């Protein structure tokens, strides 16, 4: 029988695997939560990778991931050293990686908002406060964005629970998770879900680009503001990439001024951030049981 060739193939396989794993040593790798259409993200973050590579003098690589948790896990497992997180994913990541730090946030992220949007055929009318919407919302179908999203899940769920003292499943007839903000917009626009909640920047940008059928979908309520997206870096990057590396990355991000790149986020610029800025997010996440 052919046992020994089989063994050889097996050995060859493992050799190849381990060879592949040691191939690339000191590349600075970063990722981002997949909060929007992937094509946009890949374009945006390849631009960021090129920019950082120029500024930092090390090879920089962006890897796309399929879920918020995958971004957090890759950061925790030290397979990526920097990440563009949302408020919640950033808090999760920094809890799991002692020494990691929020180093920069978008100008708009200090006061971020969630928009509740509704399909016009649903009969939900815009209101100034969420409790005025109560009768309209009851029994409708509703979609969040990703399960791990701050603006697409955490904050809208917090306000729904806070105002109506009910779990979303008890308030709405159907609750879904669209996956990302663009998807939420498309699903509510198409009427698959009657109501949804999304990142206000995604709404504003799509509106500006003329990608929203405003006869089919409208904003019905805006949340109060809260801190959101930020760049978070691991604490051990100085050991690995040299003294002062973290400072260099921070400075590079804060001085990013390429208008096209900023527009792709969309942010008007980046400003310093600290872990404490996200304390309200941590408290909210604990409040609704997403964090232990």
Partner 1 sequence: MFAYPTVRISFLFLALAVAGVLVADIAITTANPWQDLGQFFLGVATPNFFSTEGLMTALLRTVAFAFVGVTLGSICGFLLALVYRSLPVRVFCAFIRAIHELFWALIFLQFFGFHPLTGVLAIAIPYAGIFAKVYSEILDEADPEPARLLPPGTSSLAAFLYARIPDCWVQMRTYTAYRLECGLRSSAILGFVGLPTLGFYLESSFSQGLYSDAGAMLILFYLLIATMPLWVRPKLLPFYILAAPFFLGEGLPIVWGNVERFFTEDIIPSPIRSGEGLAAFTHWFGDVMVTEALPGIWNTVVLTQIALVATGILALLAFPLISSHFGGPVRRTSGHVFLVIARSTPEYILAYILLQLWGPSMLPAVVALALHNGGIIGHLIGRQTNSLKLRPDAPKGLSRYSWELVPRVYRSFLAFLFYRWEIIMRETAILGILGIYTLGFYVDSAIQNIQFDRAMILILITALLNIGIDALGRLIRRKLALQTMPSC
- Backbone φ and ψ for 232, nearest 5 degrees, come out as -120, 135
Least CB distance from residue 237 to partner 1, whole Å? 14
Compute the least distance from the CB of residue 268 to partner 1, in Å. 26
Would you report the helix, strand and coil content of the chain in percent, each value rounded to 5? 50, 20, 35
Looking at the Cβ atoms of 12 and 111, the one nearer to partner 1 is 12
SS3 222: strand
Beta pairing partners, 31: 83
Please say which residue, 105 or 182, places its beta carbon nearer to partner 1. 182
ω into 266 cis (within 30 of 0): yes
Nearer to partner 1, 14 or 258 (CB): 14
- Comparing CA positions, the residue from 144, 73, 183, 179 lying closest to residue 288 is 144
Q: Are 76 and 235 in contact (CB under 8 A)?
A: no
With respect to partner 1, which residue has the nearer C-beta, 146 or 250?
Answer: 146
Interface positions with partner 1 (CB under 8 A): 1, 5-6, 9-10, 12-17, 20-25, 29, 37-39, 63, 65-70, 72-74, 76-80, 92, 96, 121, 141, 146-148, 174, 176-177, 179-180, 182-183, 186, 190-193, 290-292
Between 144 and 159, name the residue whose CB sits nearer to partner 1: 144
CB of 202 to partner 1, least distance (A): 14
**Shortest distance in whole angstroms from residue 188 CB to partner 1:** 11
Look up residue 216 and give its two tokens: 């089919």
Give 225 or 275: the residue with its C-beta nearer to partner 1: 275
Name the minimum Å distance from CB 23 to partner 1. Answer: 5
Backbone angles phi and psi of 80, in degrees to 5: -125, 150
Find, among 59, 55, 75, the residue nearest to 67 by Cα.
75
Helix H or strand E segment including 34: none
The least CB distance from residue 270 to partner 1, in Å, is 26
**How far does Cα 267 stand from its chain's mean position?**
14
């Amino acid at each position: 029988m052919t046992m020994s060739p089989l063994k050889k193939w097996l050995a060859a396989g493992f050799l190849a695997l381990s060879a592949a794993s040691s191939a690339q040593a000191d590349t600075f790798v970063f990722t981002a939560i997949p909060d929007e259409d992937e094509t946009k993200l890949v374009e945006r973050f390849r631009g960021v990778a090129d920019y950082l590579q120029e500024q930092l003098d090390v090879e920089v690589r962006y890897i796309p991931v399929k879920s918020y948790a995958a971004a957090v896990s890759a950061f925790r497992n030290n397979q990526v050293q920097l990440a563009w997180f949302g408020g919640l994913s950033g808090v999760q990541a920094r809890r799991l990686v002692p020494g990691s730090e929020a180093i920069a946030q978008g100008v708009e992220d200090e006061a971020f908002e969630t928009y509740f949007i509704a399909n016009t055929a649903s009969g939900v009318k815009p209101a100034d406060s969420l409790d005025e919407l109560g009768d309209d919302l009851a029994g409708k179908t509703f979609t969040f964005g990703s399960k791990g999203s701050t603006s697409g899940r955490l904050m809208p769920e917090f306000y729904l629970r806070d105002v109506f003292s009910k779990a979303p499943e008890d308030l709405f007839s159907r609750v879904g998770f669209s996956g990302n903000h663009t998807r939420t917009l498309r699903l509510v626009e198409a009427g698959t879900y009657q109501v949804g909640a999304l990142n206000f920047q995604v709404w504003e940008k799509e509106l500006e680009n003329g990608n929203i059928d405003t006869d089919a979908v409208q904003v019905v309520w805006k949340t109060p503001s809260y801190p959101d997206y930020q760049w978070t870096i691991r604490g051990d990057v100085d050991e690995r990439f040299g003294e002062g590396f973290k400072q260099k990355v921070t400075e590079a991000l804060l001085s990013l001024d390429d208008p096209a790149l900023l527009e792709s986020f969309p942010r008007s610029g980046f400003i310093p951030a600290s872990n404490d800025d996200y304390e309200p997010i941590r408290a909210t996440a604990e409040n609704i049981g997403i964090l232990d």
